[in-house]
Amino acid sequence: MIQLTLHLDMASTRWRKAFPHLRRKIEQAAACAFLCAQKPAAFKTHAFTINILLTDDTNMKALNKTYRGKNKPTNVLSFPQLNLRKLPRDALSMFPRRSNIPLGDVVLAFQTIRAESLQQGKSLENHVIHMI
């Protein structure tokens, strides 16, 4: 059975007050996205880890400039560790049997996502779940 571990880091205190049960809802959204995604058959016997960083526009702007060459904040960035389209059949065998395989990192920017939710008439909670 596929197992997923989520590491959630709140680098911005604004996220702590964002909406009730933030951590639980983000964990549920990430688990749902992972379980519903198409995966190679080899995934069935492994455990995986996803890292989610909840930050602010200042940090997101720096990341966006460094990794995408865009000097502005964005709502979400993802940094996959595995390219599933080019994953050889035996690629997961390089990981020890009982270790979690890192899938990658997802970074969300509070101010940008909050502004988008207001513009689109969505709750912040629903928009964050959509981004995840």
Predicted pLDDT at 89: 67
Rounded distance between C-alpha atoms, residue 111 and residue 22, angstroms: 16
Rounded distance between C-alpha atoms, residue 123 and residue 125, angstroms: 5
Segments of the chain with pLDDT less than 50: none
- Give residue for tokens 């809802």: 25
Predicted pLDDT at 85: 66
In contact, 66 and 21? CB cutoff 8 Å? no
Predicted pLDDT at 84: 64
Q: Whole-prediction pTM value? A: 0.88
Predicted pLDDT at 44: 73
Classify residue 104 as left (phi > 0), alpha (psi -120 to 50) or beta.
Answer: left
Predicted pLDDT at 1: 55
Classify residue 16 as left (phi > 0), alpha (psi -120 to 50) or beta.
Answer: alpha
